[in-house]
Amino acid sequence: MKVSTRVEYGVLALADIAIYGGAGISVTALEISGRQGISKKYLEQILPLLRQAGLIRALKGQRGGYLLARSPQQILMSDVLNALDPSVLEPMEIPGGDSPRDLRLAVVDCLWRPLNALLSDFAAGKTLASFLIECQALMPDGSDMYVI
């Protein structure tokens, strides 16, 4: 499966905010950029998508930055994917071919729709909290990771 850099970086940014933000301490785009190796300019295009979806909130002022808008247990990965690129979880539709023997329709019905349903169910059943716990287990220095 291949996803856009917007989706990849958006998930990284949200995970970074969840890990390093908390207790009223916000995370800046510059901090995320440095830790994750993502261009600050590109992050500034992605973070508003997460904010508009109600996943993060922006704080203004001297110690401004970003915080999660709700707890990681309340954020579904399907919400994250839909905020960053709604087409990721969209069912594949192939126009044309009304005959039940049309190969295109058969392939869509036998492969693409079931795969899309599995992906959608997986993303809807995984919270940001469970995602971060799994990431922590795979990271060599995961024991130092703090998740709110």
Residue 97 has pLDDT above 70, yes or no: no
Mean pLDDT within 64-78: 95
Q: Helix 40-52 and helix 77-84: axis angle, to 10°?
A: 120
Q: Helix 40-52 and helix 5-20: axis angle, to 10°?
A: 80
Whether residue 54 lies inside any domain: the answer is yes
Rounded CA separation 145/143 (Å): 6
Whether residue 11 lies inside any domain: the answer is yes
Whether residue 113 lies inside any domain: the answer is no
Confidence of residue 66 (pLDDT cuts 50, 70, 90): very high
Whether residue 134 lies inside any domain: the answer is yes
DSSP 53: T
Compute, in degrees rounded to 10, the torsion defined by CA atoms 98, 118, 82, 54: 140
pTM of the model: 0.85
Q: What angle do CA 86, 113, 125 make, to 5 degrees?
A: 60
Whether residue 112 lies inside any domain: the answer is no
Alpha helices per DSSP H over the chain: 5-20, 29-36, 40-52, 77-84, 103-107, 113-125, 128-138
Confidence of residue 5 (pLDDT cuts 50, 70, 90): very high
What are the pLDDT digits (tens) for 52-61? 999 999 988 8
Whether residue 39 lies inside any domain: the answer is yes
Whether residue 109 lies inside any domain: the answer is no
The mean pLDDT value of the chain amounts to 88
Neighbours of 50 (CB within 10 A): 25
Give me the number of domains the chain comprises: 1
Confidence of residue 15 (pLDDT cuts 50, 70, 90): very high
pLDDT of 25: 86
Mean pLDDT within 95-111: 75
User: Residue 137: which domain range?
Assistant: 5-86+127-144
CATH code at position 70:
1.10.10.10
Confidence of residue 131 (pLDDT cuts 50, 70, 90): very high
Whether residue 110 lies inside any domain: the answer is no
Show the tokens assigned to 143.
Answer: 């024991």
